Amino acid sequence: MAFVITDNCRGCRFTDCVSVCPVDCFYGDGEQLYINPDECIDCGACEPECPVEAIHDEGSLPEDKLQWIKLNAERAPNLPNITQKQAAVPGAEERKAALGF
């Protein structure tokens, strides 16, 4: 089991999550982050840090987000490791408001 990042992260990338991860298993492209399931130790520390509820335990993913298990596993190993909080992408606050947070 691992935690999974969904499309709520896209266009946001606040990266509050990375600073609490004990094993640095977040990876990112220009739009969002992904968790490498081979490295995640399932501690759950990141989930409450995300301001847009993008992170879920893979066993508790909403039905319409199940594809993100595969997408995190496929994409994370091919992307740069993100280990420190970064500036959010432009428009992140608007995106957050549009998501209802």
- Residues contributing to the site for ligand SF4 (CB under 6 A): 3, 5, 9, 12-17, 20-21, 23, 25, 32-33, 35, 40-46, 49-50, 52, 54-55
Two tokens, residue 29: 């492209």
Nearest to 98 by CA among 56, 61, 52, 63: 52
Please, what is the minimum distance in Å from the beta carbon of residue 94 to ligand SF4? 14
Residues linked to residue 27 through DSSP beta bridges, in sequence order: 34, 81
Chain centre to alpha carbon of residue 48:
11
Select 44 or 66, whichever has its Cβ closest to ligand SF4.
44
Q: For residue 92, which amino acid is it?
A: A
CB of 81 to ligand SF4, least distance (A): 12
Looking at the Cβ atoms of 66 and 81, the one nearer to ligand SF4 is: 81
